[in-house]
Structure 1
Amino acid sequence: MQFAIVDIETTGGFPSQHGITEIGIVLHNGTEIEGKYETLVNPHQPIPPFVVNMTGITDAMVAVAPSFGEVAPYIYNLLKGRIFVAHNVNFDYSFVKHHLQEAGFHLHTPKLCTIRLSRKVFPGFRKYGLGHLCRELGITIENRHRASGDAMATTEVLDMVLRNNGGMVIKEMLKKENRSQLLPANLPEEYVKDLPDCPGVYYFHDAKGKVIYVGKAKNIKKRVVSHFTGLDISQKRQDFLRSIYSITHSKCPTEFIACLLESVEIKRLWPIHNKSQKRYEQLWGIYMFEDNRGYHRLAIDKKRKYSTPVASFALLVDAHRTLWKMVREFELHPVLCFLDNTGAREFPDVALYNENVMKALGWMDAQKETFLIRDKESCVLVEEGKFYGMGRLSPDADLSLIENIKAQLTEYPENEVIRSMIRNYAEKFPGKVVKWAVGS
């Protein structure tokens, strides 16, 4: 196995925005060092003060150094055909690959992360950062936080791995089907290894255990791994990957149940890296009131906290569509429903009109069906038009009373996303809908 052990210093953490200030490469044939290369690099952007303090590399030092494009051909020739090794390899590899690509070179080499490798060969250490690991292994780092010093320290780690029968571990990690190299540096492989191949909801946690992302999946393991594939070098993605320290999950009987649970959990936990479903839901309602002439009036208005509409809608257009339907089918007056602003000289008899309004409201109440969505052992209950909850029903469950069903389900809060999903699912799969007469 031919290795290229790499370490870089940069102006920041994101390849698309920041530059390389120094690169160190150690060539290793699996037995001994074959060669070394190091150079300062002019990033053509200021080096932040905190980086200067950490590395000792100043703007004056890199001002006379070659740009990355000038040394790219030589670096590419050193790396091609070798296994790219680094401590937290995805960071170094993403920078080198990005800047090589900008110089016209496309790097495609196997990667090997000495953090993950050390966790397997030297289990039980409290931390596996380069400084902590070298102290545990008795390795002295010369010129810390400089590319050549850290590259040599990483080489010594690799040497110790090889001397401790780590060759088979390396071969296993380099297998094409082994995806551990893709995982974020702070996420132990065990969290992904133990994930099930079934529908459910998964949670990414930060270093303090706080949930920072919630997702749903038809296959939990495959979906989680898909988050780590590709080489997205954006700041947003890099921030996201670095903040993942652990994963938990909840199994669900079906993908549909997982979709509903995901929505519930996003609303409950409000994770920082979830963007969808995190917005204020402006609902609309159809309200009834009596005017000074005694007419029962129907009107559309925004749904407010302490008001109770006769019907609620997520979209204003749906509220208008429903009210117009009531006007046509129950002979209501458009002006009295605030749907016609042209005015009217003649109005219907008050008693007769109010009777029609009550018929229309009765029709609307009848639309608030109670039904179950059954799929395998899963059950979703909608009671009088409102999502109640979901769960598993035993095959011999007594369905004669609605309370018997509720006793086996978990009650969840409703939101418009859930209402929409249930409505669409019921329309798409009518054979899975079991309607229930109100009052049964």
Structure 2
Amino acid sequence: MYAIVDIETTGGHASAGSITEIAIFIHDGMQIVQQYETLVNPGMPIPRYIQALTGITNEMVADAPPFEEVAQQVFTLLQGQIFIAHNVNFDYSFLKFQLEAAGYKLQSRKLCTVRLSRKVFPGFPSYSLGNLCRQLNINIQQRHRATGDALATVQLFERILAADKDGAIAAALNVRSKEQWLPLHLPQEQVVDLPMSPGVYYFHNEKGKVVYVGKARNIKKRVTSHFTGNSSGRRKQEFIRNIHGISFEKTGTELMAFILESVEIRRLWPVYNNAQKRIESRFGFYVFEDQGGYLRLAIEKRRKYSTPVYTFNLLTEGHQRMRELVREFKLCPKLCFLQTDNDTCVGVTEKSCKGACDKKEKPAKYNQRVMEAIEHLKSEQPSFVIVDSGREATERSCILMEKGKFYGMGYVPRDVAVTDNNMLKDWLTQYPENEFILNLLRQHAGARSAVGG
């Protein structure tokens, strides 16, 4: 059985955002046999650009149930099913994170309709859901709403099932201390089972909450070192007493462990981690498409795990840069939120705006200039890929920096030829960036050879 899922959220990363809408369709390979849809109160304001994209407002979710109230039903529907979504890691990571926060541990095999479509329908110019559906004549009702997008993904998956002559789906599913030193409540077998490889480890308290995150070149050796000292300080003793469990995630290299540790400290905010907890107060340009089809550039305070197209420290700097883009690329001040009143557009008066704010200019023409402005911002930013050892001999690790931004990292089988960054992204997990990670990657790329992006 398959669980075909789509969610809408307040942001682009599970630990910083929250879910606003869920749709789940249980499919037996022939037809839908069960379905579930609900709005969700995210417990935080929905950013205005997300409201413009999805049409889901703060008022719409005010009386919706919080995720904790629907978690059991969602878990019951998903557990044991093959989890399917378009860009599956996004939806799965959000739901796994939210379910774990509610006390449920989701473990599902996954299928991504983006990756499957690349194999079953090769040669399409784009594999976004909207473009795929246009290519395959699938009608999407309520684009950027969970139910509409999930139903479109159902139809897409049915097309994939019918056209999968080479077994792409089957191939995608084929996955293969000394006790006296230990804290009183920590089971010995958890330490025995630790790998002697690079990675990140997590110490959990009696309620399962992560209280410390660490990185290591050798996970077992580093974890053991926490318990072999003789410190009698209150904080160290309290720390040891509160460790009830260990989990870990292997990485291919120590550099990847450094990056993942930095991400996880900011995501989990563990009580015993002191380093790297500084929240950066920079701002950014964010781009989104409104319901009229126009691309909008907005200045927003940079949230954790967000992905702005340009960042800056001071609002005055951002407004100045935005005004320069508006002048140079003839953008609309209203669509860039530089003018927020109901008066006549200043750009129209000054003959720099071509009327997009009044829909006198078609979205396609206006959006082309927005994209040119974005590319102009990115043009001098470096792109490179750091390729190194994988977790196993059969794979290699890849870290992607794209136009000055840390995109993410992951693992590619050694027998897979990756010819461009778009193909590489299918194998990578996106992670949020911060100044620590950016500096780390810049230093590392300067110290060794990197493959240009």
Q: TM-score w.r.t. structure 1 length?
A: 0.46
Q: TM-score w.r.t. structure 2 length?
A: 0.45
Q: Which has the larger radius of gyration?
A: 1
Indicate the structure whose relative CO is greater, using CA pairs within 8 Å and at least 6 residues apart: 2
